[in-house]
Copies of this chain bind each other. A is one copy, B any other.
Amino acid sequence: MVEKKNRKTKKLTVDKSIEGRRIDWISRLLGPPPAGELSLGIGDDAAVWKPRRGYRAVLTVDSQSEGTHFLPGWLSPEEIGRRAVSSSISDLAAMNARPALVLVSLLLESERTESYFRKLYRGIAAACEDYGALIAGGNISRGPLSITVTCIGEARESDITSRDGLRNGDELWVTGTPGLANLGLLHLRDRIFGGSSSPEIRQAVAAFKKPRARIVEAAALGRGWLPHAAIDLSDGLYKDLLHLLNSSSNQGGPEVGIVLDKQAIETLQPLGKLCSKVNRSPCQAALEGGEDYELLLAIPPGRATTARRRAFDRKFDLPMTRIGTVTSDQPGLWLKTDSSGSLKQLTGNGFEHF
């Protein structure tokens, strides 16, 4: 049947289109996956994965695109890659799930250089490694720069924190400094702090450029502090507080409200110092901010003991601040403006005036 059997056969290789070469490069960058949970990874049509016995899969997706989430020149390609991974994995932190796998869909203009592509992807891969997540698959095609990161985590059902568990008396705690990333963004966009620099300004810019999903912190808090509900701060404290309230009331539980402590919010560092430079209210900056990827947690009263707070403090270089209380006295979002306990209701179009 075979006529030319003895002639030298040309070595066949996979299509060496630019995408094919990039997939080869990614495979070399990542190396083979560790034996175990991922039985089929990059290079086939799909990846095959088995959550550990007794665990649930926890799934989320997030996209970052140039022109919408950042402008050219704001971030290095490595930072763009890292940020896309962190913003997506942050949703797993909110649920207290361990990141296991990541799928990356990359759109990239044809005129981007290979060097740019590689820096971007190195940022993606480095962030995944930091969080302990394997890149299990993906997709590269032409288009205006955007990175879509799907994260697949695992958690025991009983460990998962959702948005809808607020209960009367819960204490509201935040990690880090809500509003800081937004000040950094405003500085990148509008130079709100002028041409000068300071540790606080650099901290704000870094909060925007290099957010860090609070995976390990969420695991520690999940063990000792036992949150009733959690959310990651991507839309800003005000909107994310409303998400918590609405999720809880949608679940048909008793309607609860939240009383925020203005003084506590004003102590968030370095908001006060930065806001004083630009004549803003620190409270407003915290409420209106976004993309901090910090955690907002409803902690049962009595759980945030001094011992636990000290232990958290020793382990993580990250402030924890109690900024409010869940109340069944009335629904809605309220601000306690002074020590006498007088309250102002915060609403969508009015909260900026305080």
- A residues near B, CB below 8 A? 1-5, 9-10, 12-16, 39-40, 43-51, 56-63, 65, 67-69, 91-92, 94-95, 97, 101, 103-105, 107, 136-139, 141-144, 146, 148, 150-153, 155, 157, 160, 162-164, 231-232, 235, 239, 242-243, 245-247, 250, 257, 259, 327, 329-334, 336, 340-343, 345, 347-348
Contacts and interface: CB of A to CB of B under 8 A. Distances in A.
A242 B15 contact: yes
28 contacts: A2-B330, A10-B347, A12-B242, A14-B243, A14-B246, A15-B242, A16-B348, A44-B164, A45-B60, A45-B92, A46-B58, A46-B95, A46-B153, A48-B160, A51-B51, A51-B57, A57-B152, A61-B103, A63-B139, A65-B107, A65-B141, A65-B143, A65-B144, A68-B141, A68-B143, A144-B144, A150-B150, A152-B152
A334 to B, nearest CB: 8
A160 B45 CA distance: 11
Given A9-B330, A61-B148, 11 more contacts: A1-B336, A15-B235, A15-B239, A44-B95, A45-B91, A45-B232, A46-B95, A47-B60, A51-B51, A59-B137, A65-B142
A16 B67 CA distance: 22
Contacts of A91: 45-46
A10 B345 contact: yes
Nearest to A333: B12
A59 B3 CA distance: 43
A153 B57 CA distance: 12
A340 B2 CA distance: 10
Contacts of A142: 65, 67-68
B60 A46 contact: yes
B14 A242 contact: yes
Q: Which of A50, A67, A105, A243 lies at the interface centre, i.e. has the most chain B CB atoms within 10 A of its CB?
A: A105
Given A45-B232, A103-B150, A57 B63 contact: no
A250 B43 CA distance: 10
Given A57-B49, A242-B14, A105 B148 contact: yes
Q: Which of A47, A67, A136 lies at the interface centre, i.e. has the most chain B CB atoms within 10 A of its CB?
A: A47
A27 B146 CA distance: 25
Top 6 closest pairs, chain A to chain B, by CB? A46-B60, A65-B143, A45-B91, A45-B94, A150-B150, A148-B148
B50 A56 contact: yes
B3 A63 contact: no
Nearest to A142: B68
Contacts of A92: 45-46
